[in-house]
Chains A and B, each alone.
Chain A
Amino acid sequence: MTPLAVSVDRVSFRYQKTLVLEEVTLQVKEGEFLALIGPNGAGKTTLLKLILGLLPLKEGTITIFNRPVQKLGELRSQIGYVLQGNTINRYFPITVEEFILTGRYPLIGMGKKPRIQDYQAVEAVLSKVHLTPLRSKPIRELSGGQWQRMLVARALVSQPRLLLLDEPTTAIDPKGSESLYELLLTLREAKTTIIVVSHDVGVIAQYADTIACLNRTLVCHDRPEEVISAETLETMYGKEVAFFHHGEIPHIVVKKSPHGRQENEERE
């Protein structure tokens, strides 16, 4: 049996009083490429933050490589991530390559200087995300898509065993997003475990090994062809959503309601 990279067991989470995750149980095998999907506000980001230890875990357990998330210690440096709506100070005086180098800091250690292998890792990852020509630009001069690729590069530069990406293809053009997913596939060859949150259900279904559907509770977790059925999607997104195949690429669309009115309920 393949060992588990991430094991989420009966995890519930609430912000103040609002229950956002309810009894979520999810297991991700080492080397698995998991797509996490679900509507806005479903708790996807919350789940990733719990896995990263950024939110306090009160109900249930999470283990990463068999270590409880509260006691990760050194293992933390083996997790790479791209957070959604990150808190980065865009006007910080730092170049693209220096920024990516900060992803190596946990490996370098406190009070120590970067070594040759750290610069080599930056070099390698720069070309992987096609940012080499922009390496010495200040980060504030990047476009939205270039910025996103830089974040992915920072997550990759520490050669993580576990990679968490929260909507990494937001603001990336179709070609760029394809090349990002191709890049993720090459990482999977190297047995990296990958969890990607995405709303491009159709696109991600072509790359992921499994898809997990979250909507406060875990609706399903299975191979893409099993998950992408009218039923599960209806449970997740409501009746207005239809799903069809067009050539090779599956699509999800919102049906126009007969009265020209769009239902868009916000869950409390």
Chain B
Amino acid sequence: MEFLRFGFMQRALLEGAMIGVLCALLGVFVVLRNLSFVSAGISHAAFGGVALGYLLGINVVMTAMVFCVLVGISVSIITQKSILKEDTVVGILYASTMALGVFFMSFTKGYSVDLFSYLFGSILAVTQFDLIVTAWVGSIATFLVLFFFKELTVTTLDPETAKASGIPAEAFHYLFTALVALVIVVSIRVVGIILVSALLVLPAATALRIARTMKGVTFLALTVSLISSLGGLILSYFLNTPSGATIVLLGAGIFGGSFLFHFPR
């Protein structure tokens, strides 16, 4: 347990625990609302934001948040107001924002390898500031999801009927997408832009295969998510591997392993 003595490791684990909880909690709704690919698109948009932050020399977390929330909300609005499906809109927007990122990078003199750690995540990277931002975003997201759990459930289960009964299904969709965007941004430090959506999807998908009620699914997703994020961080310390890849591979291993014990459906 000597690794716990290192400050960077303490910060990484604390961050890992927070994003583990957040990704599980939101991930269940992400999967049930068929937003897995949208969440991947949103996370890639962070690349444009991070590159812009570097170019302007301002805090990249803030620029990434702006990019991700904008892309998330745009996808929702364009899909609702046109006949285009989400996968098409995401395909367009995420390629555009990635291109924008590369464009910004070309203007940034001697861009640092640091950018690479944003792509794949790093346990060395978590700062005090990151922890504070994650704690804030986490508290707000957790509060909103728990407070509106009923409404999120019913707008996910049957949006048209929810709308007819006066529940603003569209407003909840925008709110939820924005929350997903924020949680993605705070998770990027540890898991990385390329891999973050897997942490949203894997624990929820594993839990949905096995549990039969929302309570059961949420509880199981939390367990799988925390094992993946904390276990992945500790493994990446000992194996000297990138944290994001280690976390995602552990999550994927649990997902695959669940087929050995639980095959029906």
Q: A residues bordering B, Cβ < 8 Å?
A: 52-54, 72-73, 76-77, 79, 81, 83, 86-89, 91-95, 98-99, 102, 105-106, 108, 110-112, 138, 154
Contacts and interface: CB of A to CB of B under 8 A. Distances in A.
Contacts of B166: 72-73, 76-77, 106
A93 to B, nearest CB: 5
Given A54-B163, A77-B165, A106-B166, A88 B148 contact: no
B151 A88 contact: no
A92 B156 contact: yes
B160 A92 contact: no
Q: Which 5 A-B pairs have the closest CB atoms?
A: A76-B166, A106-B165, A52-B164, A88-B158, A138-B212
A66 B153 CA distance: 32
Given A54-B160, A93-B214, A95-B213, 12 more contacts: A77-B166, A81-B161, A81-B164, A89-B32, A89-B157, A93-B216, A94-B153, A98-B214, A99-B157, A102-B158, A106-B166, A138-B212
B223 to A, nearest CB: 16
A112 B151 CA distance: 10
Contact of A89 (B156, B213, B214): B156
B126 to A, nearest CB: 33
A79 B164 contact: yes
Nearest to B151: A110
B211 A87 contact: no
16 contacts: A73-B166, A81-B164, A87-B161, A92-B156, A93-B211, A93-B213, A93-B214, A93-B217, A94-B157, A94-B213, A94-B214, A98-B214, A99-B157, A102-B150, A102-B153, A102-B157
Interface of B: 32, 147-148, 150-151, 153-154, 156-161, 163-167, 208, 211-214, 216-217
A1 B160 CA distance: 35
Contact of B147 (A87, A93, A98, A111): A111
A189 B32 CA distance: 40
A76 B165 contact: yes
A93 B215 CA distance: 9
A169 B212 CA distance: 28
Given A77-B165, A106-B165, A93 B208 contact: yes
A98 B213 contact: yes
Nearest to B154: A102
A93 B161 contact: no
Contacts of B211: 93
Contacts of B163: 54
Contacts of A79: 164-165
Contact of A86 (B147, B161, B214, B216): B161
Contacts of A76: 164-166
A87 B160 contact: yes
